[in-house]
Amino acid sequence: MNVRNEIRRLATSYLPASQVSFWIGVAGVLVGLAAGILVAAQPVYLFAGAIAFAIIINFFADFERTAIALLILRSSLDIFSAQQIPALFALGLAALTLLYVAAAFLERRTIQTDWFWWFLLAWVMLQGLWPVLCILGGLGLDASPYLADNVREWTRLFSWAMVYLLVMQMKDRVAPQKIIALLFFSLIPPIIVGMLQKYANFLLPSILALKKPAIVSQFVPAEVVSGTRINSTFAHPNNFVLYLLLFICLAFWQLLRGSKPRWMWLILLFLMANLYVGTGAIFGLVMLVTALGIAIAPRLKFYNALGGIMLLLLVIVLFASTDYGRSRLDGIANTPLLNPDIDVSRAIVMSFSDYNSFNWRIAQWYYLLRAWLYEPWFGYGLGTGVYLSPYNLVPHNDYIRALVEGGIIGLVTFVALLVAQAIRLLQLLRQAPKGSDRWNFCWSLLALLIATSLGMATDNVWSGTAFYFYWWTVMGIAGWNWQERKDRGAGDRAMLLTMETAIEVKN
């Protein structure tokens, strides 16, 4: 039974035509009234509402194309964070996914899931414990000012589970290689804006142009936080570098599988490497070296190794050729990591005057760990790490963030999610023939997972909402049956051959 046809039949069979026209008119008046209120309050909301209405209609009329278009669109939304567009997009996408799944259930169509999605959903539900504890006063901070942070962070995590579920509904309906290729269209706005920010910033409108931000902390000046770092269409340069890292790995996978034309992928890699350097994220260099090193390890042939080494050298040389890059590299020498004359206590004292980002990270972690000692088991609540040190910045270490926000319980669940992702990818690797597209794809994702898990030790990878939006997208695609279409075609050819043989024998 088709739910939409049944609703249409019931509406026309129980209401006379005049009443149908009356209620349509009432609906039109209400829509017009709502539109007028939106125009008066915020014109952008009317525009967003019109787009949302069109998306809802197309979502059910042409599910695959609309879903892919939404996936492509996400990389361009962070510039509208002040208008809450990314948050509204996440909530809307989650609602659409639930509506689609509910309609599929009512129509008795197959709802595609796998064990990892159920694990992810259970994990997200478990994170709901912290907002509840915040309401009950069971955390280290009062509920009234900090409940919104808990709910906001939990909603962000829930939207990731919905992205994974949405992608799973396209299984067996779209070829995985095709949807991965289409995801590269999401690079177009970030690359264009990033290049203009780097070379022709004056051409960009104010919402996109690089601006010198206000001082975000009494201890860390704005030029240290941002400087000339490009962020493209993303909220922060570090979010942009995570997004680029994901697509560098995907582009490298396309090269290794022999996608044509090769020159296009080489140009794309060069553009992304150029922008990667422009973000000024030194932790991004470490993650890139780790990801590409692991990605090419199973296929350690001369040309593969040469290509990976050349890309890494290009990024490092470009980074070291800038004043900002050299200052970042020089800063490492004045830390306990490379200077034995500087201990942790001295690094903390120096962090208040030398503006060395490595030293103030050490100080930040010190203050956070001291705060954690007062609430060791359940911490202070989701999204509250920014309030727990004098810097008023996010922790810049996702493991310490998990510890202070969720306590020991939260850290254990956080590490469990990372381990579960690795187990899922290893399982998919065992299922796929070695050297196949799926095997190489899953191996690239495993390399990226290891690299980002390493990057979490010094930065805010977990805050990269756009990155995780695409990460859960490709994780869902990795679980598809990549060989189904090929096998189905082989089966059809075998059946035709059998029928032809039978006809010849009969004749």
Token pair recorded at residue 114: 């796998």
* Identity at 411, one-letter amino acid code: L
116 domain-assigned: yes
In a domain, 338, yes or no: no
Counted domains in the chain = 1
Residue 403 lies in a domain: yes
pLDDT of res. 186: 98
- pLDDT of 476: 98
Please tell me what DSSP assigns to residue 433. P
pLDDT (0 to 100) of residue 298? 83
- Within a domain: residue 235? yes
So what's the pLDDT on residue 182?
A: 97
- Residues 396 and 386: their CA atoms lie apart, in Å, by 10
Q: How far apart are CA 447 and CA 435, in angstroms?
A: 16
Q: Rounded distance, CA 291 to CA 450, Å?
A: 7
Alpha carbon of residue 338 to chain centroid: 33
Token duo for residue 109: 């169509």
The secondary structure of 47-86 as a DSSP string is: HHHHHHHHHHHHHHHSHHHHHHHHHHHGGG-GGGGGGTHH
Q: Is residue 294 domain-resident?
A: yes
478, 442 Cβ separation under 8 angstroms: yes
Determine the structural domain holding residue 417 and report its residue range. Answer: 42-205+228-332+375-492
**DSSP assignment letter at 138:** -
Task: Report yes or no: 270 and 312 within 8 Å, Cβ to Cβ.
Answer: no
- Residue 229 is predicted with a pLDDT of 87
Tell me if 220 is assigned to some domain.
no
Nearest CA to 166 out of 239, 78, 104 is that of 104
E strand or H helix at 448: helix 437-455
Q: How far apart, in whole angstroms, are the C-alpha atoms of residue 319 and residue 279? A: 9
Residue 12 lies in a domain: no
Q: Which residues of 76-108 are buried (b: 16+ CB within 10 A; e: fewer)?
A: bbbbbeeeebbbbbbebbbebbeebbeebeeee
Continuous segment of H or E residues that includes residue 271:
helix 262-278
Tell me the longest C-alpha to C-alpha distance in the chain. Answer: 95
What Cα–Cα distance (Å) separates residue 354 from each residue in 67, 218, 301, 346?
Answer: 48, 13, 45, 12
Residue 180: φ, ψ to 5°: -65, -40
3-state per-residue secondary structure call for 356-401: CHHHHHHHHHHHHHHHHCCCCCCCCCCCCHHHCCCCCCCCCCHHHH
Q: How many residues does the chain have?
A: 507
What is the full per-residue pLDDT of the chain (507 aa) written as tens digits?
Answer: 555 555 445 444 444 544 544 554 445 445 555 545 554 555 656 666 667 777 777 888 889 999 999 999 999 999 988 888 899 899 999 999 999 999 999 999 999 999 999 999 999 999 999 999 999 999 988 777 899 999 999 999 999 999 999 999 999 999 999 999 999 999 999 999 999 999 999 999 988 998 755 444 444 444 444 457 899 999 899 999 999 999 999 999 998 888 888 899 999 999 999 999 899 888 898 899 899 889 988 876 666 667 667 777 777 777 777 776 677 666 666 666 666 667 667 666 666 666 677 888 888 999 999 999 999 999 999 999 999 988 888 999 999 999 999 999 999 999 999 999 999 999 999 999 998 999 999 999 999 999 999 999 999 999 999 999 999 999 999 999 997 444 334 444 444 444 444 444 444
Confirm if 162 and 94 have CB atoms less than 8 A apart: yes
Q: What is the distance between the alpha carbons of residues 347 and 502, in angstroms, rounded to a whole number?
A: 83
CA distance 302 to 112: 41
Q: Is residue 460 part of a domain?
A: yes
